[in-house]
Structure 1
Amino acid sequence: MAHPRKSEEDKYKKMSISFEPEQLKQLISYCEREERTASWVIRKALSEWLEKHDS
Structure 2
Amino acid sequence: MSDYWTPTHYAVEHEDAETLARLLARGADPFLRSRPGRTAAAYPHQQTSRR
Q: Same fold (TM over 0.5)?
A: no
Q: More relative contact order in 1 or in 2 (CA 8 Å, sep 6+)?
A: 2
TM-score range, shorter chain: under 0.3
Question: With structure 2 as the length reference, what TM-score do the two structures score?
Answer: 0.28
Specify which structure has the higher proportion of helix. 1
Q: Which has the larger radius of gyration?
A: 1
Question: With structure 1 as the length reference, what TM-score do the two structures score?
Answer: 0.27
